[in-house]
Amino acid sequence: MTFENNFSFAKQCDDQDPLKEYRSRFNYPSKDGHPYIYFCGNSLGLQPKTTVTEISKELEGWSAMGIKGYFKGDKPWVDYDKNLSASMAEIVGAKTEEVVVMNTLTVNLHFMMVSFYNPSAKRFKILIEADAFPSDRYVVDSQIKLHGFDTSEAIIKLKAREGEECLRVEDVISSIEEHGDEIALVLIGNTNYYTGQYFDMKSIAIAAHAQGCKIGFDCAHGAGNLPLELHDSGVDFAVWCTYKYLNSGPGSIGGCFVHERHLNNPELPKLTGWWGHHRESRFGMREEFDPAPGALSWQVSCPPVLALAGVKASLDIFSEVGIDKLRAKSIKLTGYLEYLLGEVRDERIRIITPKDPQSRGCQLSIKVTDVTKNLYDNLIANGVIVDWREPNVIRIAPAPLYNSFEEVFRFVEILKAQLHCS
Ligand SMILES: *Cc1c(COP(=O)(O)O)cnc(C)c1O
């Protein structure tokens, strides 16, 4: 694809964009009547206009039916959660029975580690990225302590090579091979929140399994961003949230994947609750725990339907578009951003995200030097919402559902103007 550094080229890309009408399905934060250029869908995705409709429907149902809403109405609440599995499974490349929409990401990671981190005296270590998202590191620390091990011995950290920003997959694999018989669990962010690097899950999963380790991926920055193929990758489990690329609302309900081969294994340790009980007999209340089929058996509590309505509003849009079409636009849109940033030619900014589109999603992270956080503040003041990560990284995530080529072009013009005055 040859790009051009001018406004009319950006406009032309928008005109030819098969997904252009989806922009109008979202609400945009604005200042003085002007919508912001919103490149922060990696932190909190924008609100679909249908969110309010879906949540209102359930509020009305509650008001009109009370408890009867569990079994009446066009979407009885008793199955509301379960009915989201199929469209969620499509987004992450899984079978419907491998996916459950429940809890929140960090909670799900704890639940998955109860099932898949079973340390022994010889095999008790966890391999994790040195710069993994803090919540994941805290989960790992606390799980290790819970099992009576010492975190200073039990954690193996994956670091990028000296002078490099991203991890090399070959280094991840050689680390797995080196420590294989001591590792109980490999836990990786499938798209790194800081660098935007995407990891091929299959090759890492094969290496982990060859050493007898379990492997899980945190897909917080992957779900809704790029096709994941969780089932085919063979990973044991994965967790993600729905408020980033999946636009389901602040703190909304997370997703969880358990590979088919572990479903219905009665030997697997599991924290259980009544919502994981078989649906037909759940309300019998007296029987022994009889697990629901598939990943649904990991559910614990009666799910928050109002929050799930936000998930539904968003998944309906994803089902309509399809993750493959989104990805095709995303590669072009982020490619255009990369091209324009390359044209800036200012030594104070440098992209640290991998160049190969196969090794990244939509986000580009730029490291800035000799520039203060004022640059970021000035971008906001000039109508752009991006985010700043300490010590010196600006993350820019053009989301293919609602961002345009014109916005990418205008953003780089604003950035250039701000670099000149900083
Ligand atoms: C956003 C994010 C989280 C946040 O988890 P919550 O429990 O939803 O607050 C955890 N891990 C990663 C990698 C994230 O990007």
What is the per-residue pLDDT for 421? Answer: 59
Task: Give tens-digit pLDDT for 210-242.
Answer: 999 999 999 999 999 999 999 999 999 999 999
What is the per-residue pLDDT for 420? Answer: 81
Evaluate: CB of 132 within 6 angstroms of ligand 1: no
pLDDT above 80 (res 400): yes
Evaluate: CB of 135 within 6 angstroms of ligand 1: yes
Give the distance (Å) from ligand 1 centre to CA of residue 172: 22
Mean pLDDT computed over every residue of the chain: 95
b/e per residue 81-111 (b: at least 16 CB within 10 A): bbebbebbbbbbbbbbbbbbbbbbbbebbbb
Task: Find the mean pLDDT for residues 285-308.
Answer: 92
Q: Locate the ligand 1 atom nearest the alpha carbon of residue 135 and give its number.
A: 10
Give the distance (Å) from ligand 1 centre to CA of residue 297: 23
Question: Could you give the domains of the chain?
Answer: 7-35+322-421 (3.90.1150.10), 55-319 (3.40.640.10)
Give the distance (Å) from ligand 1 centre to CA of residue 241: 7
Task: Find the mean pLDDT for residues 281-305.
Answer: 89
Assign 17 a pLDDT band (cuts: 50, 70, 90).
very high
Assign 371 a pLDDT band (cuts: 50, 70, 90).
confident
What is the per-residue pLDDT for 345? Answer: 85
Give nearest CA residue, ligand 1 atom 10.
135
Full 3-state SS string of the chain: CCCCCCHHHHHHHHHCCCCHHHHHHEECCEECCEECEECECCCCCCEECHHHHHHHHHHHHHHHHHHHHHCCCCCCHHHCCHHHHHHHHHHHCCCHHHEEECCCHHHHHHHHHHHHCCCCCCCCEEEEECCCCHHHHHHHHHHHHHCCCCHHHHEEEECCCCCCCCCCHHHHHHHHHHHHHHEEEEEEECECCCCCEECCHHHHHHHHHHCCCEEEEECCCCCCCCCCCHHHHCCCEEEECCCCCCCCCCCCCCEEEECHHHCCCCCCCCCCCHHHECHHHHCCCCCCCCECCHHHHHCCCCCCHHHHHHHHHHHHHHHHHCHHHHHHHHHHHHHHHHHHHHHHCCCCEEECCCCCHHHECCCEEEEECCCCCHHHHHHHHCCEECEEECCCEEEEECCCCCCCHHHHHHHHHHHHHHHHHC
- Mutational pocket test of ligand 1: of 40, 142, 193, 240, the residue with most ligand atoms within 8 Å of the beta carbon: 193
What single letter denotes the amino acid at residue 56? S
Q: Locate the ligand 1 atom nearest the alpha carbon of residue 254 and give its number.
A: 8
Give the distance (Å) from ligand 1 centre to CA of residue 19: 28
Contact 82, 253 (CB under 8 A): no
pLDDT above 60 (res 153): yes
- pTM, 2 dp: 0.96
Give nearest CA residue, ligand 1 atom 8.
105
Task: Find the mean pLDDT for residues 243-255.
Answer: 98
Evaluate: CB of 133 within 6 angstroms of ligand 1: yes
- Mutational pocket test of ligand 1: of 135, 197, 199, 365, the residue with most ligand atoms within 8 Å of the beta carbon: 135
Give the distance (Å) from ligand 1 centre to CA of residue 93: 20
Evaluate: CB of 137 within 6 angstroms of ligand 1: no
Evaluate: CB of 136 within 6 angstroms of ligand 1: yes
Evaluate: CB of 102 within 6 angstroms of ligand 1: no
Tokens of 148: 């009576």
Name beta bridge partners: 364: 396
Evaluate: CB of 220 within 6 angstroms of ligand 1: yes
Give the distance (Å) from ligand 1 centre to CA of residue 217: 12
Tokens of 194: 């800081």
Task: Find the mean pLDDT for residues 103-127.
Answer: 98
pLDDT above 80 (res 20): yes
Give nearest CA residue, ligand 1 atom 15.
220
Name beta bridge partners: 215: 186
Q: From the CB of residue 65, how many other CB atoms can be counted at a distance below 10 Å?
A: 15
Evaluate: CB of 241 within 6 angstroms of ligand 1: yes
pLDDT more than 70, % of the chain: 100
- Mutational pocket test of ligand 1: of 108, 193, 241, the residue with most ligand atoms within 8 Å of the beta carbon: 241
Give the distance (Å) from ligand 1 centre to CA of residue 104: 8
What CA–CA distance (Å, rounded) separates 102 from 86? 14
Q: Locate the ligand 1 atom nearest the alpha carbon of residue 136 and give its number.
A: 11
Q: Locate the ligand 1 atom nearest the alpha carbon of residue 133 and give its number.
A: 13
Give nearest CA residue, ligand 1 atom 1.
220
What single letter denotes the amino acid at residue 399? A
